[in-house]
Amino acid sequence: MMKKIIPATVLTAILFLVSAVYGASEMFKDYIYQPGTLKPIDSKPKLKVGDKAPDFALSSITGEKVSLSQYIGKKNVVISFVPAAWTPVCSDQWPGYNLVKDIFDQYDTTLLGITVDNIPTLYAWTRPMGDIWFPVLSDFWPHGKVAKKYGVLRSNGVSERALFVIDKKGIIRYIDVHDINKRPLLEDLVKELEKLKK
């Protein structure tokens, strides 16, 4: 009993200390929905590093269809699945990537941002972020089909917060199915992009 209580107590105590406020930009004012702390990961992996990345074609907020295969042989691809528009961490993550196009360019990589939201929602949510240099894709219908293919569809129908790095041959080189409550560190992704050059 004591063995169980002590770690639980220490964990509770640590939780008191750890507090993160994402999506705090004044740009979003109080439009951000606060979902509270969620189960960190709620899906089972279907893919592993070394697998061929499943192809897909999704509509973007600019009206075009974007497929993974159109980049094969031309560019490395980072897929950033984020759970939902108008939520705290997601509202931070893409504006950060939007700032570092030069880093993606440096590693001859493009970024594809995917959520299960529909196009109008994605459009409204991303407009205030300014001109986004990477395609923002909707995996709305059939609902979460691509997220499911990549093994990152959660039981409530949103995707995980996940990053897939795919090389020019279409092979998955890195997977980070991240704690949904936290923003992945930019430097961790950059380290993986650096490895693509080797």
Which residues are identified as catalytic?
90
What is the rounded CA–CA span in Å between residue 30 and residue 18? 22
What is the rounded CA–CA span in Å between residue 80 and residue 176? 10
Whichever of 97 and 174 has its CB closer to other proteins, that residue is 97
Does 128 sit near other proteins (CB under 8 A)? yes
Does 31 sit near other proteins (CB under 8 A)? no
Whichever of 40 and 130 has its CB closer to other proteins, that residue is 130
Whichever of 85 and 172 has its CB closer to other proteins, that residue is 85
- If we measure between CA atoms, which residue out of 77, 72, 46 comes closest to residue 146? 46
Stretch that binds other proteins, among 11-19, 48-56, 147-155, 170-178 (CB under 8 A): 11-19
Of residues 58-117, those binding other proteins (CB under 8 A):
92-93, 95-96, 98-100, 103
DSSP string, 56-113: -EEEETTS-EEESGGGTTT-EEEEEE-S-TTSHHHHHHHHHHHHTHHHHHHTTEEEEE
**CB contact set of 94 (below 8 Å; sequence gap of 6+):** 80, 82, 113, 126, 129, 132, 136
Please state the closest distance from residue 146 (CB atom) to other proteins, in A: 25
Does 49 sit near other proteins (CB under 8 A)? no
Q: What letter does residue 51 receive in the DSSP assignment?
A: S
Instruction: Give the pair of three-digit tokens for residue 168.
Output: 């020019």
Please state the closest distance from residue 110 (CB atom) to other proteins, in A: 19
Please state the closest distance from residue 190 (CB atom) to other proteins, in A: 8
What is the rounded CA–CA span in Å between residue 111 and residue 133? 9
What is the rounded CA–CA span in Å between residue 36 and residue 81? 19
Whichever of 70 and 181 has its CB closer to other proteins, that residue is 181
Does 124 sit near other proteins (CB under 8 A)? no
- Please count the residues of this chain forming the interface with other proteins, following the rule CB under 8 A: 36
Which residues of this protein are in contact with other proteins, per CB under 8 A?
1-2, 5-6, 9-10, 12-13, 16-22, 24-27, 29, 92-93, 95-96, 98-100, 103, 128-130, 183, 185-187, 190
